[in-house]
Amino acid sequence: MDKAHPLSSPMVVRSLEVDKDSFRSHESDEELIGPEVPYLSAIGALTYLANCTRPDIAFAVNLLARYNSSPTRRHWNGVKNIFRYLRGTSDMGLFYSRWIKLNLQGYADAGFLSDPHKACSQTGYVFTCGNTTVSWKSVKQTMVATSSNHSEVFAIHEASRECVWLRNMIEHIQESYGLPSIKDSPTILYEDNATCIAQLSEGFIKWDITKHISPKFFYAHELQKNGEIDVKQIRSSDNLADLFTKVLPTTTFKRLTYGINLQKLKNIASKETEQVSPMFT
């Protein structure tokens, strides 16, 4: 792929209609690709990259990894699109500065019916520290959500669990080095679904539209009541977790990528000052 024409995003526009989705499972009259095509090796390498330094490809890799056992030419073309995107952005990485405050904040979102073939939604969350991404996840939900609000509750639940772990780790570092603790201040967790936020504020209420949701998914309510997190509403266009739940238009994709502080090395070099010592991964 070294001589391939680079793409501006890792995945082409995707249709969520069952018959038109190019990333649907293989059909009975469709031929599977043979062992001469390194599909599994490519997915393994991309998964490592998506988990470590390139969160911008996390959703695309998670989607294509579902077909490891029966990939077709359509899926292989999707893998090649990711490589073409990486070909044009090989100098991009997460930018960390030494002079940052440990102001942890998170974003959670859900892509309702992201998998129309099995009626499953997608969970996405991202946590930033010093305005740079430190933790992220894009994964298909294992339970079928009956509404967008239902899927958002699942996403908040997963994000709140990750938030507890990150807070404990940061508190340990702060106590070890005598730094001011974040224990007394809640971590802000941004969510764009107003109904979901209202339910988490009030806790589990068994009524017609929520009685099918297991109370365990309102774990975030307990964390909010104990002052560990503070769930706030944000516009959907500003929710950084949107990057991990669906295929986005190129302009939106680039804006959110910049929002998680994934930058090109040449742009970082031009912004350096004597007071900032950058680390680039």
Rounded mean pLDDT, 180-193: 89
- pLDDT above 50 (res 157): yes
- pLDDT above 80 (res 76): yes
Residue 86 has what pLDDT? 95
Rounded mean pLDDT, 4-21: 85
Q: Would you say 139 and 178 are in contact if contact means Cβ atoms under 8 Å apart?
A: no
- pLDDT above 90 (res 56): yes
pLDDT digits (tens, 9 = 90+) for 219-239: 998 999 999 999 999 999 999
**Neighbouring-strand partners of residue 230:** 188
Using a pLDDT cut of 90, give the percent of the chain over it: 58
Domain coordinates of the chain in residue numbers? 1-90, 94-263
Rounded mean pLDDT, 176-195: 88
- pLDDT above 90 (res 269): no
Query: What does the alpha-carbon distance between residue 210 and residue 150 come to, in Å, rounded to a whole number?
Result: 8
Residue 153 has what pLDDT? 92
pLDDT digits (tens, 9 = 90+) for 79-94: 999 999 999 999 999 9
- pLDDT above 50 (res 274): no
**Residues 6+ away with beta carbon under 8 Å from 139:** 62, 122, 123, 158
Higher-confidence residue: 211 or 69?
69
State the chain's mean pLDDT as an integer.
88
DSSP 35: T
Residue 183 has what pLDDT? 82
Q: Would you say 155 and 196 are in contact if contact means Cβ atoms under 8 Å apart?
A: no
Amino acid at 22: S
Residue 58 has what pLDDT? 97
**Residues 6+ away with beta carbon under 8 Å from 237:** 252
- pLDDT above 90 (res 173): no
Q: Which fold has domain 94-263?
A: Nucleotidyltransferase; domain 5 (3.30.420)
Higher-confidence residue: 218 or 151?
151
- Residue in the structure block whose two tokens are 């201040």: 185
**Neighbouring-strand partners of residue 81:** none
Residue 204 has what pLDDT? 67
- Residue in the structure block whose two tokens are 């470590």: 52
